[in-house]
């Protein structure tokens, strides 16, 4: 066998050179059309980030970054817009709304700002009586949605990784109730859970004493019939209180029993218990009680003094202790509403006679001696007295009077003259006052009463006194009929 090797010819080389040149030109052209690197800003909500990219269009950039969009999201500029340096791409995310209508729940994405727009987008028709709740709280249908709240996981650091927190929006359909109110029937549409709340929301007043069937706490169902039997207003006055109330009771007695007002004994009711109830009636209950009351009046006892010649003067002893008597009265008393309206005397008598208080006073005279700075004195009586002092110019007598400087006994005023109450110390008695000396009871005064003694001085040696002292009556004592055995207690000596 013979192998033949082909030899290149001049015509084959000439055909290869143009092909190579064409390929080189095409590669150069391709290099001229590769996009250059540029920086754009992507803003999602209130967050933004700068991105370096060679993508030609907005759509390509978002695809490259893995940013997924919902149909409700918006992008500005549009997706097919070519990228330019420093361009800002704004993405507005639709917020999720968990929408519940008549017990059915769905998620609706929206960029609406008001509840009404969300409901319109979802094709939900709302009637006036329907209840709309946003985040669990009742709102009007034109209420604004709250500002979006962004949320993201701890790994999500880019603004497009964030999501908007969902909000809840619910529509509770009103159902009809047939209300019969004292014979008149009307329809109430409500979203309330109970009969009482439905009537309250509809502005139907329910008064104390009204009867409602079914009861106010019963659950509501569609086309439920509610019957109201109305009470009438009355006023009840009892036990110091005035109660404005309503009742369906037929008589006064029934109305009082309904209000827990019970009667006893002599109580009086106006109008009478059998009177039929009428609107605006005023019922008065007067509480009446009658009882016998005993009153004691104190009968004071008398005090008598009896002489005792064996008891020393100025001493006393109780012979018989006094005791007051009792004068007793019995009354029939009538009280209405806590106020006494009548009192009738039934009888009166002395229940206990008073006992006279008998005190013996001493009449025995005992003379004693006392050593003083002025020598030894002998006295028969000692009296505690309030001592003051005076002179002729301070005695309160005008100098132009003929008795100026003259004492009651007619002797000139001087040191050693004392003024006394003659009922305590007889005029003409000799006394001794510690700190003053001996004195002669020769004067009186309008203010020298009881246990008072005024010590006389000359004008040029007047010493002012005002203190309690023991006054000694010097022997010999006067005749017994001149002695006052019961001295007054005023002024009262200090203890």
Domains held by the chain: number: 6
**CATH number of the domain encompassing residue 109:** 3.10.20.30
* pLDDT band with cut points at 50, 70 and 90 for residue 37: confident
179-238, pLDDT tens digit by residue?
Answer: 998 778 989 888 888 999 888 988 898 887 788 989 889 898 888 999 998 888 999 999
**What pLDDT is recorded for position 151?**
74
Are residues 251 and 225 part of one domain? no
C-alpha to C-alpha distances, 304 to 221, 320, 322, 326, 485, nearest whole angstrom: 98, 10, 10, 20, 14
Residue with tokens 């009153």: 295
CA-to-CA distance for 152 and 246, rounded, in angstroms?
A: 61
**What pLDDT is recorded for position 210?**
87
Domain containing 63: what range? 38-92
Note whether residue 6 is domain-resident: no
Note whether residue 181 is domain-resident: yes
Q: Where are the alpha helices (DSSP H) in 56-173?
A: 58-65, 115-121
263-280, pLDDT tens digit by residue?
Answer: 998 999 999 999 999 999
CA-to-CA distance for 182 and 230, rounded, in angstroms?
A: 7
**CATH number of the domain encompassing residue 270:** 3.10.20
441-492, pLDDT tens digit by residue?
Answer: 999 999 999 999 999 999 999 999 999 999 999 999 999 999 999 999 899 8
Are residues 334 and 269 part of one domain? no
Q: End-to-end CA distance of the chain: give it in Å, rounded.
A: 175
SS3 314: coil
Over range 279-303, report the average pLDDT.
96
Other Cβ atoms within 10 Å of 111 Cβ, number: 15
Are residues 239 and 182 part of one domain? no
**CATH number of the domain encompassing residue 340:** 2.20.230.10
Give, as one character, the DSSP assignment of residue 276. B
Note whether residue 246 is domain-resident: yes
Beta strand extents in 300-374 (DSSP E only): 303-312, 316-320, 325-336, 339-352, 357-364, 368-372
Residue with tokens 């090797």: 5
User: Could you give the percent of the chain with pLDDT greater than 90?
Assistant: 61
**Would the pLDDT of 413 be above 70?**
yes
Note whether residue 443 is domain-resident: yes
**Would the pLDDT of 25 be above 50?**
no
Are residues 370 and 461 part of one domain? yes
Over range 405-414, report the average pLDDT.
96
**Would the pLDDT of 33 be above 60?**
no
What rounded mean pLDDT belongs to the chain?
Answer: 88
Are residues 224 and 182 part of one domain? yes
Model confidence pTM above 0.85: no
**Would the pLDDT of 378 be above 90?**
yes
**What pLDDT is recorded for position 486?**
95
* pLDDT band with cut points at 50, 70 and 90 for residue 3: very low
């Amino acid at each position: 066998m013979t192998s033949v090797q082909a030899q290149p010819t001049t015509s084959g080389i000439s055909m290869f050179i143009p092909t190579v040149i064409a390929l080189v030109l095409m590669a150069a052209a391709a290099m001229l059309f590769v996009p250059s690197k540029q920086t754009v800003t992507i803003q999602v909500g209130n967050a933004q980030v700068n991105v370096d990219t060679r993508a030609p269009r907005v759509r390509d950039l978002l695809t490259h970054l893995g940013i997924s969009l919902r149909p409700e999201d918006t992008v500005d500029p549009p997706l097919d817009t070519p990228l330019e340096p420093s361009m800002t791409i704004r993405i507005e995310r639709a917020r999720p709304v968990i929408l519940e209508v008549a017990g059915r729940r769905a998620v609706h994405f929206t960029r609406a700002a008001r509840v009404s727009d969300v409901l319109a987008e979802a094709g939900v028709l709302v009637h006036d009586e329907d209840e709309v709740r946003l985040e669990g709280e009742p709102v009007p249908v034109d209420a604004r949605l709250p500002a979006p709240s962004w949320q993201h996981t701890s790994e999500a650091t880019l603004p497009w990784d964030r999501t908007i927190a969902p909000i809840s929006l619910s529509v509770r359909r009103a159902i009809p109730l047939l209300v019969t109110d004292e014979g008149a029937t009307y329809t109430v549409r409500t979203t309330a859970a109970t009969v009482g709340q439905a009537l309250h929301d509809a502005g139907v007043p329910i008064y104390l004493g009204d009867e409602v069937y079914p009861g106010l706490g019963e659950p509501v169902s569609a086309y439920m019939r509610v019957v109201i039997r109305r009470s009438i207003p009355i006023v009840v006055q009892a036990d110091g209180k005035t109660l404005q109330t309503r009742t369906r009771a037929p008589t006064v007695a029934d109305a009082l029993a309904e209000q827990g007002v019970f009667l006893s004994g002599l109580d009086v009711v106006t109008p009478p218990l059998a009177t039929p109830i009428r609107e605006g009636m005023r019922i008065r209950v007067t509480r009446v009680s009658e009882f016998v009351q005993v009153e004691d009046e104190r009968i004071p006892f008398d005090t008598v003094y009896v002489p005792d010649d064996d008891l020393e003067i100025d001493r006393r002893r109780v012979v018989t202790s006094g005791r007051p008597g009792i004068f007793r009265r019995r009354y029939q008393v009538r009280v209405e509403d806590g106020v006494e309206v009548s009192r009738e005397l039934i009888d009166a008598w002395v229940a206990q006679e008073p006992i006279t208080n008998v005190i013996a006073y001493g009449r025995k005279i005992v003379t004693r001696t006392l050593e003083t700075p002025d020598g030894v004195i002998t006295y028969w009586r000692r009296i505690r007295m309030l001592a003051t002092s005076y002179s002729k110019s301070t005695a309160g007598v005008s100098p132009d009077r003929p008795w100026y400087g003259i004492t009651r006994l007619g002797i000139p005023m001087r040191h050693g003259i004392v003024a006394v109450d003659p009922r305590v110390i007889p005029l003409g008695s000799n006394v001794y006052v510690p700190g003053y000396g001996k004195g002669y009871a020769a004067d009186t005064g309008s203010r020298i009463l009881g246990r008072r003694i005024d010590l006389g001085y000359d004008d040029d040696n007047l010493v002012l006194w005002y203190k309690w002292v023991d006054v000694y009556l010097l022997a010999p004592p006067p005749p017994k009929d001149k002695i006052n055995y019961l001295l007054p207690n005023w002024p009262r000596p200090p203890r």
